[in-house]
Structure 1
């Protein structure tokens, strides 16, 4: 069975504010919790008008307090920016407040990466310090290449590959991770029996009730992403703007490249592609990332996916420490 989770970058919409984007994240997490998604990750971005999520640990705390069943975590903390003990202390505290529900995803970006392996090892030691009733956060390394995959395998953490950034490297990265036998890390990384242990693939997805609507939303996303690649970082605009836009050759070239990392279509079409990616790369979890101008389109996309995959929160036991 393929597990579905969420990666939310808190995208800012043209005409909206970062505060609006953060409120949309809170609403989407509540929806994902009710729909039966497995986990909900929030990203860390800085100095970008496109994304509002600059402090994932703050958002994680807020989301844990507003959801009941979801695992909630960072996708991820940019570890080179921070002292490892501080990161460990923050997520130990979150895990103490919400046992069995906290993920700590760590990324190499954001600063000099030469100390990253040492920092990750330090975080692992500190979050594992036990006391009675404590359940450590589940530690993941996040990457878009083979380096973090190799480190995750060596250290025995879980690994999520950013297919939406470098789809061509997904296969070598996942093979590198599996070669070390780290997929059964279990208790050493906060894993629990029954959790997905075959690694995860983070995929950019847009689902809509018709192909035409999916194409319109995809065009809006591709225009925004192409401009961002070319140095024009701005909030994402509505599909109507993309329909009227006169694409430059450079924008069209970037859109063609970015479309290779985008799965868009009707729910049935998207399901078939996601299952194909999971099988091709040997993963049992897809972390879905959807960027759209209107938060309602994001919610609708996740709802449609939940329906076509048969997700349900009904009957799923609530973790210890769930908030009423």
Structure 2
């Protein structure tokens, strides 16, 4: 199996020592860096009412990221379709794809509202963008992705002939079965083979010790969120001083199974294995840290570990200079 491509899923995390507007600007900076490093695509997530995320309008952020990059694919991961009129979503992405042809991804999620009519909404959106039923109709329609963490979403993506990304960081089990369903249904619907991408939560650093410090911060934030304390991501100092409760430790243990962390070579080995197990040639990496500098460094080290072409060129220039 060939080396997997790397992409970015950005939830625009807000650290306790930072503000949401700083987090948004950090996302723009990270997208610029990711393009330079050789990442394939960059997706803005959608979250509402959470102090830990500033990503409440992914289509707006995607527009800003398109304006600040030149060739990397940019999109959403994903628009929560139950919240919106499919025709309006089609119009928004018709504009984005008309301004930036061949660079726009439209990733769709089914959270955010009643999901009983989600298949019909998704089919309507697909038809509007694919058959020219929206104004403006872009010269190159956005690439449609369905995001999910189960077999139902996988089968729906295959039936409609869209791309599919499995959220390993939501549910680390069940991905292989979901991809089997997706590929079988996609081939029946289109007559073509399908690939898919795996979205994985990752944190790495210059040493295994530093990576573990960052992982502990992330796990403390996630454990607190489960227990009803939704807050910005705690800093290393806060995490180091924290006295964990039994309930927090229990929730952290659960979420550890969906986190890939360690030194770059350790993370590379695990991610390569996950790609092979799931039969995907693309990994969409989600990294959450309190400090944007730690997050960008994690993506830089991943690019080097996977020898992304742009990262190799950058390393050669640094060594020569």
TM-score by length of 2: 0.92
Looking at structure 2, the residues matched to 286 and 13 of structure 1 have their Cα atoms a distance apart, in angstroms, of 25
Runs of 4+ with >4 A deviation: 130-133, 182-187
**Does the 8 Å CA contact 2:146/2:164 hold for their aligned counterparts?**
yes
Q: Which residue of 1 aligns with 2:82?
A: 80
Looking at structure 1, the residues matched to 288 and 71 of structure 2 have their Cα atoms a distance apart, in angstroms, of 24
**Does the 8 Å CA contact 2:17/2:235 hold for their aligned counterparts?**
no
Q: Which residue of 2 aligns with 1:176?
A: 181
Q: Which residue of 1 aligns with 2:198?
A: 201
1:172 deviation in Å? 2.0
Q: Which residue of 2 aligns with 1:23?
A: 25
Give the stretch that moved more between structures: 121-130 or 41-50: 121-130
Aligned with 1:180: secondary structure? Answer: helix
Q: Which runs of 5+ in 1 are unaligned?
A: 188-195, 317-324
1:313 deviation in Å? 3.7
1:15 deviation in Å? 2.2
Looking at structure 2, the residues matched to 212 and 71 of structure 1 have their Cα atoms a distance apart, in angstroms, of 33
Match 1:97 to one of 87, 96, 99? 99
1:182 deviation in Å? 4.7
Looking at structure 2, the residues matched to 18 and 182 of structure 1 have their Cα atoms a distance apart, in angstroms, of 43
1:254-273 Cα deviation digits (max 9, x unpaired): 11110000000111111110
Q: Which residue of 2 aligns with 1:143?
A: 148
Looking at structure 2, the residues matched to 186 and 48 of structure 1 have their Cα atoms a distance apart, in angstroms, of 42
Aligned with 1:168: secondary structure? Answer: coil
**Does the 8 Å CA contact 1:206/1:290 hold for their aligned counterparts?**
yes
1:115 deviation in Å? 1.0
Distance 1:71 1:19, change over 3 A: same
**Does the 8 Å CA contact 2:97/2:138 hold for their aligned counterparts?**
no
**Does the 8 Å CA contact 1:204/1:288 hold for their aligned counterparts?**
yes
Match 1:288 to one of 285, 290, 304? 285
**Does the 8 Å CA contact 1:183/1:197 hold for their aligned counterparts?**
no
Distance 1:133 1:226, change over 3 A: closer
Residue correspondences, number: 308
Q: Which residue of 1 aligns with 2:229?
A: 232
Looking at structure 2, the residues matched to 105 and 143 of structure 1 have their Cα atoms a distance apart, in angstroms, of 10
Match 1:6 to one of 8, 13, 16? 8
Q: Which residue of 2 aligns with 1:114?
A: 116
1:145 deviation in Å? 1.2
Aligned with 2:65: secondary structure? Answer: helix
1:95-133 Cα deviation digits (max 9, x unpaired): 111011000000100011111111111111111135997
Q: Does 2:213 correspond to 1:216? A: yes
Aligned with 2:102: secondary structure? Answer: coil
